[in-house]
A and B are shown apart, each in its own frame.
Chain A
């Protein structure tokens, strides 16, 4: 399972033209019969399109159920390969696959599946809409691996925390011509700024105050620009310093269009100092300052929607991201790095806190994923030119209980509180959807009323 390669489908871009299926059938069978294509695009009930295709799973079910050893995952390419000389046509593989990624082709007389065309999938080439993308996760990771890790080894985050992953990958992508601001919180807490005269980072790094990250970076960036040097001003900040006491400087810098790449790692509170509530703590959540007792049952107010507030500043780029969806995060990071060369780029990354949210340390990515799958966290991006765009559909969300039940800080919630959260989520998503529907025409300020 060292490698993982697959074809990603962006339903929002698919027009249902069928070129991918024609191309696949042509390459694999010489005909243009869509029935012989290994990729199947299906019209969905709501005018969109759906996909049936081999995912080249990391732990493939079809391989497990094959009695004839005719299927095998190639450890190098990641392709789940079918060996026609071993296949007995028992069709059990079609039981093992829950994606219709391998199916009987009556014309061929045996099961067929996608083999990624040896690394250059014909369907992807044929797709003129950009709805299909050949994704090479292994190569993405090795690409990141080849970039220099600019933090020292041995940062001491809590067990299971995703922030170290996050900041290492961000800084790898941003590169060495960077000045990093890490205001007080978990990120310097794990040693990034260093201790007693020693540094934790191979690029210049500093502790701003909790209150002035964006302002200090503005001074740094402007000074280098004046000197003719392109130095990235990067903030790796928590939600408390961003949404609460640091919001004025953040807002001012965004309004002035300071050229800053501001990454807010949102763990929904002051977790470094022992889990106090912040403006980003969601309704109902237990924290040490919104405790559960006879008279109070967690936080009584909603969280600030910080990314939306930043969008209202009409920043050059605003996006939300999650470590459960790294490729989405990578794309947004690349866009943010670019945008920060000419304006304020704001990346809001959700970071479940194993210590403060009360869930097992191995469940971090799972919790992050559930947050997105239930719509508790929506993944979107904004540019002034194209407006707000969801990067992951918010239709067909899973019930929010699945997320709330995974996180201990919500353990005390009663039915009324859960209903409150559901109603609020619906409202929030409704606003986002409306913004998304209006696209670049949307004036976020007009909609805010």
Chain B
């Protein structure tokens, strides 16, 4: 049986950030990092760019072998966590290995959620969560003339853009009435959908797939609206769910994700969780949320790592804030916070012709959310304004007129 003071399961942002935080305080404690991925550490977020060819699959690794050597980390790739005996503090892996740990971080991320569609199992389809998925999809890209993307989240929209650019006739099917639900408000979403439409993509919102069936080299889908859609390439991108199958019998409490407190501690001693797998405090609501975005994973990984190493500088997780940056067809969409809040006030500026859009949500002169398309601001500053509950009262009009400059000014004055 292997032994480690720190066992980190997962190899993406949450685990890597936790590792960095641990090493800041404990330079020597043994660390074992295990991941189900065969490939060295990479970010799921980069995968659409591997698909498009913008990223070289060989150059997306977040840390090299030398880094792990320098940090004295034992690395085990291709080793998926199978079960946990939290009483004995032993983790069992699918490849039969067992690790006795003192402190455990679960940063196992999420897996694609496949919708229960009749006949889907008989149809060849793609998902996009691992590097293998990305390479497979990239290989298929060149030959497909007609493609369908299920789900208009970030993964689906990125893939759809790739397919459009590859010359495929592309259809996007989304159950919700808008694209990018939960990321952008309806007005912004409609501007984004328009951009896809202008480039020949069909955006079918408010429709679900009733059934799927093979058709020749490809497939045929039947939609709730009665329409039938055919194609050779099908991507299922209807979201992800935390990868927590291994929790059975472990005693670690979970709902949608693993429940953690503000130090990323789970319900079981010596076990922490962070990133897409964790269900943690929200900045806006009492109930904990799964906020599966990269900056969130980094923040949680940092909090968990410091707490695991008993770093006296450890601080509480300040609560999840939705943040998204989205680059499409050379344009940029940004979102920070929530697009509606009780008792809040909303200020919208929209130039339909230019495709520029900005929405600011304030409550009690504090920023609750800000969204834009082609109206740049600094999301990193905005999220701090939200988290610090900075009083914008004295500069309110300037902020509404010129949020980017006003926020930078506030940053320069306040962050010292």
Chain A residues with a Cβ under 8 A of chain B: 40, 42, 44-45, 50-52, 59, 61, 64-65, 67-69, 85-86, 88-92, 94-100, 103-104, 106, 109, 360, 362, 373, 396
List 11 A-B pairs, Cβ < 8 Å.
A50-B411, A51-B412, A52-B378, A61-B380, A64-B298, A65-B295, A68-B43, A91-B332, A94-B380, A95-B323, A103-B376
A96–B295 CB distance below 8 A: yes
Instruction: Name B394's closest neighbour in chain A (CB-CB).
Output: A45
Docked Cα-Cα span, A103 to B411, in Å, equals 15
B416–A64 CB distance below 8 A: no
Q: Which residues of B contact A52 (CB under 8 A)?
A: 378, 408, 411-412
Which of A51, A86, A90, A104 is most buried by chain B, counting CB atoms within 10 A of its CB? A90
A44–B43 CB distance below 8 A: no
User: From DSSP, what is the main secondary structure of chain A's interface residues?
Assistant: loop
Please pick, from B56, B409, B416, the residue contacting A45 in the complex, using a CB distance under 8 A: B409
Instruction: Tell whether B294 is near chain A: CB-to-CB under 8 Å.
Output: yes
Chain B proximity of A64: nearest CB distance (Å): 5
Docked Cα-Cα span, A86 to B407, in Å, equals 29
Which of A85, A86, A360, A396 is most buried by chain B, counting CB atoms within 10 A of its CB? A86
Docked Cα-Cα span, A40 to B383, in Å, equals 20
B408–A100 CB distance below 8 A: yes
Instruction: Tell whether B59 is near chain A: CB-to-CB under 8 Å.
Output: yes
A104–B376 CB distance below 8 A: yes
Docked Cα-Cα span, A94 to B394, in Å, equals 26
Instruction: Tell whether B310 is near chain A: CB-to-CB under 8 Å.
Output: no
Q: Interface digits, B363-386 against A, CB 8 Å rule (1 contact, 0 not)?
A: 000000000000010111101100
Chain B residues with a Cβ under 8 A of chain A: 13, 17, 20, 42-46, 49, 54-56, 59-62, 294-295, 298, 302, 312, 323, 325-327, 330, 332, 334, 376, 378-381, 383-384, 394-395, 405, 407-409, 411-416
A95–B383 CB distance below 8 A: yes
Q: Which residues of B contact A94 (CB under 8 A)?
A: 325, 334, 378-380
A96–B298 CB distance below 8 A: yes
Q: Which residues of B contact A104 (CB under 8 A)?
A: 332, 376
Q: Which residues of A contact B326 (CB under 8 A)?
A: 91
A50–B298 CB distance below 8 A: no
B411–A69 CB distance below 8 A: no
A50–B408 CB distance below 8 A: yes
Q: Which residues of B contact A85 (CB under 8 A)?
A: 59
Docked Cα-Cα span, A64 to B301, in Å, equals 10
Please pick, from A50, A92, A100, A360, the residue contacting B294 in the complex, using a CB distance under 8 A: A92
Docked Cα-Cα span, A109 to B380, in Å, equals 19
Chain A proximity of B397: nearest CB distance (Å): 12
Q: Which residues of A contact B54 (CB under 8 A)?
A: 88
Inter-chain residue pair count (beta carbon < 8 A): 120
Docked Cα-Cα span, A335 to B294, in Å, equals 48
Instruction: Name B330's closest neighbour in chain A (CB-CB).
Output: A109
Docked Cα-Cα span, A92 to B46, in Å, equals 11
- A sample of 10 more A-B contacts (CB under 8 A), given A67-B294, A92-B295, is A50-B411, A50-B413, A52-B412, A59-B20, A61-B298, A68-B55, A89-B327, A95-B380, A97-B378, A103-B378
Q: Which residues of B contact A360 (CB under 8 A)?
A: 312
A68–B412 CB distance below 8 A: no
A98–B45 CB distance below 8 A: no
Instruction: Name B387's closest neighbour in chain A (CB-CB).
Output: A98
A373–B45 CB distance below 8 A: no
B380–A97 CB distance below 8 A: yes
B46–A91 CB distance below 8 A: no
Docked Cα-Cα span, A94 to B408, in Å, equals 13
Q: Which residues of B contact A44 (CB under 8 A)?
A: 409, 412-413
Chain A proximity of B313: nearest CB distance (Å): 8
Q: Which residues of A contact B20 (CB under 8 A)?
A: 59, 64
A96–B46 CB distance below 8 A: no
A86–B55 CB distance below 8 A: yes
Please pick, from A50, A68, A91, the residue contacting B334 in the complex, using a CB distance under 8 A: A91
A69–B45 CB distance below 8 A: no
Chain A proximity of B10: nearest CB distance (Å): 15
Chain B proximity of A354: nearest CB distance (Å): 13
Docked Cα-Cα span, A65 to B56, in Å, equals 19
Instruction: Name A362's closest neighbour in chain B (CB-CB).
Output: B312
Q: Which residues of A contact B17 (CB under 8 A)?
A: 64
Q: Which residues of B contact A90 (CB under 8 A)?
A: 45-46, 49, 325, 327
Q: Which residues of B contact A98 (CB under 8 A)?
A: 380-381, 383-384, 411, 415
B413–A396 CB distance below 8 A: yes
Instruction: Name A372's closest neighbour in chain B (CB-CB).
Output: B416
B43–A373 CB distance below 8 A: no
Instruction: Name B48's closest neighbour in chain A (CB-CB).
Output: A88
A88–B46 CB distance below 8 A: yes
Docked Cα-Cα span, A88 to B13, in Å, equals 17
Please pick, from A50, A59, A67, A96, the residue contacting B43 in the complex, using a CB distance under 8 A: A67
Docked Cα-Cα span, A59 to B43, in Å, equals 19
Q: Which residues of B contact A109 (CB under 8 A)?
A: 330
Q: Which residues of B contact A65 (CB under 8 A)?
A: 13, 294-295, 298
Docked Cα-Cα span, A415 to B376, in Å, equals 45
A45-B409, A109-B330 known; A67+B45 contact, CB < 8 A: yes
Instruction: Name B17's closest neighbour in chain A (CB-CB).
Output: A64
Docked Cα-Cα span, A85 to B408, in Å, equals 29
Instruction: Name A55's closest neighbour in chain B (CB-CB).
Output: B415
Instruction: Name A94's closest neighbour in chain B (CB-CB).
Output: B379
Instruction: Name B325's closest neighbour in chain A (CB-CB).
Output: A91
A42-B408, A61-B380, A89-B327 known; A95+B413 contact, CB < 8 A: no
A92–B60 CB distance below 8 A: no
Please pick, from A50, A64, A99, the residue contacting B13 in the complex, using a CB distance under 8 A: A64
Q: Which residues of A contact B395 (CB under 8 A)?
A: 45
Please pick, from A42, A50, A89, A100, the residue contacting B380 in the complex, using a CB distance under 8 A: A100
Please pick, from B332, B380, B413, B416, the residue contacting A373 in the complex, using a CB distance under 8 A: B416
Docked Cα-Cα span, A61 to B323, in Å, equals 15
